[in-house]
Amino acid sequence: MLTAALSSPSNSRPILTADDNFRASTHLDSQASRTATTDPSDNNSPPPHIRIVPHLDSPRSLVFSIIERDVRNDTVLKIGRFTDRFMSPNRITFRSKVVSRGHAEIWTEGSKFYIRDTRSSSGTFLNHVRLSAPNQDSRPFLLKDGDVVQLGVDYQGGTEEIYRAVKMRIELNRSWQNQANTFSLNTFQSLRNLTTPPNNVSVLDAAMGDSSSAAHGNLPSAARQSSKPDEDQNIHIEDCCICLYAIAPFQALFVAPCSHTFHFKCCRPLLQSYPGFLCPLCRSYADLDASVAIEANEVLQMLRQKQQQEVNENDTAIKQETDVPTKMEDTTDSSHPQTQDDTHAVAEATPSSS
């Protein structure tokens, strides 16, 4: 889904209907092979990574596919309205009349990202500031994480998608966000507890039964009994951040890819930009049409890793607690008064006054 707008009224001509050919943006895989001429010392460090997502500042905001690229020092990303006959991983294509054929460029120098306008007619805007006059090259501008870039301006009020400007938010070196973390796994477990009947054992619980029982089996019986009251006291009920009421069973819920949970009724207005979704809590953008093909054994592996991590953390905490009395005893021994043997040793080492 992309924007389109005529560069100027004088050059206007009939436009075809906004079918799928105009609504789809062409983006190649960011992992496509490309030659690199970086220094050998940089081979161990990951290349600078850029993620371009739609900037949803209004219900009419244009939604396009998420763009991700690894940009090395010898790579220049060219942004424009290109044809499918010349497909390249270094091109970011928007099939739009708002975007010029050669609109802008993005590249890196010293792991820093830069952007410049390449003689576009409708302009390139960085945080609402135009980079250059029409049909003129701009000087390089430094890109920072979270910057908003706009290509062109709305034409004829942007009543149709092909007449809307392309607004994008720049995310730099945020690959860590796509990794599974403790918060997302805890949210998954909480939802399973809400949706699984009490008397029904799920497939995942049955598969993880051995590992969980082994982990609890290593604890003393007294510790297991004392942990039950603590678990009851530490029960946390999650609230919907929109209505501030509790997330409870038998409710229609919406779970964002960032693992924040809302009542579907509350977050429905936020879905007007489907398939784009901007979380109201962490402001992270997600494509709701992204692939969900993941096998059950992969989920099991993530949960088992989380359980093993918790066991290791508990063992480390117990070991630290047992080491404290030992250190205190060592300190006490070092501060004890001199014994008779110590006195004789001091007397022998001291020459007699006679």
Domain assignments of the chain as residue spans, ordered by start: 9-178, 182-296
- Does 96 or 347 have the greater pLDDT score? 96
Q: Please say if the pLDDT value at position 12 is more than 50.
A: no
Pairing assessment for the beta strands 141-143 and 148-151 based on DSSP bridges: unpaired
| Element of type H or E holding 68 | strand 67-70
| Element of type H or E holding 157 | none
- Whole-angstrom Cα distance, residue 114 to residue 33? 22
- Does 326 or 58 have the greater pLDDT score? 58
Query: What one-letter code names the amino acid at 31?
Result: Q
- Summarised one tens digit per residue, pLDDT across range 239-285 is 888 999 988 888 888 988 888 889 999 999 888 888 889 898 888 88
Mean pLDDT lowest for which of 107-121, 207-221, 251-265? Answer: 207-221
So what's the pLDDT on residue 335? 53
So what's the pLDDT on residue 81? 85
Q: Give the global pTM.
A: 0.58
Pairing assessment for the beta strands 91-93 and 76-80 based on DSSP bridges: parallel
Long-range contacts of 196-203 (CB under 8 A, 24+ apart): 203/296
- Say if residues 303 and 185 touch (Cβ distance below 8 Å): yes
So what's the pLDDT on residue 206? 52
Q: Give the burial string for 276-300 (b: 16+ CB within 10 Å, else e).
A: bbbbeeeebbbbeeeeeeeeeeeee
So what's the pLDDT on residue 250? 81
CA 59, 25, 113, 288 dihedral sign is: positive
- Does 59 or 289 have the greater pLDDT score? 289
Q: Please say if the pLDDT value at position 71 is more than 60.
A: yes
- Summarised one tens digit per residue, pLDDT across range 130-160 is 999 999 999 999 999 999 999 998 887 777 8
- Say if residues 62 and 99 touch (Cβ distance below 8 Å): no
pLDDT band for position 177 (cuts 50, 70, 90): low
So what's the pLDDT on residue 203? 47
Triad 277, 129, 77: Cα angle to 5°: 65
- Summarised one tens digit per residue, pLDDT across range 280-299 is 888 888 889 888 888 888 87
Ranked by mean pLDDT, the top range of 120-134, 195-209, 286-300 is 120-134
Of 111, 114, 112, 154, the residue nearest 131 (C-alpha): 114
- Whole-angstrom Cα distance, residue 284 to residue 58? 16
- Whole-angstrom Cα distance, residue 195 to residue 118? 54
Chain mean pLDDT for the chain: 73
So what's the pLDDT on residue 4? 38
- Summarised one tens digit per residue, pLDDT across range 319-350 is 777 776 655 555 555 555 555 555 554 455 45
DSSP label at 148?
E
Q: Where are the alpha helices (DSSP H) in 250-295?
A: 264-267
So what's the pLDDT on residue 55? 92
Upper half-sphere CA count for residue 180 (Cβ side, 13 Å): 13
Mean pLDDT lowest for which of 110-119, 204-213, 294-303? Answer: 204-213
- Whole-angstrom Cα distance, residue 296 to residue 290? 18
> Of 1.20.1600.10, 3.20.20.10, 3.40.50.10260, 2.60.200.20, which CATH number belongs to 9-178?
2.60.200.20
So what's the pLDDT on residue 180? 57
Of 187, 200, 223, the residue nearest 303 (C-alpha): 187
Mean pLDDT lowest for which of 31-40, 109-118, 318-327? Answer: 31-40
- Whole-angstrom Cα distance, residue 211 to residue 306? 11
So what's the pLDDT on residue 336? 54
- Does 311 or 124 have the greater pLDDT score? 124
Q: Please say if the pLDDT value at position 216 is more than 80.
A: no
Q: Is 343 helix (H, G, I), strand (E, B) or coil?
A: helix
Q: Is 340 helix (H, G, I), strand (E, B) or coil?
A: helix
Is the domain 182-296 a CATH 3.30.360.10 member?
A: no
- Does 232 or 301 have the greater pLDDT score? 301
Mean pLDDT lowest for which of 7-21, 70-84, 102-116, 304-318? Answer: 7-21
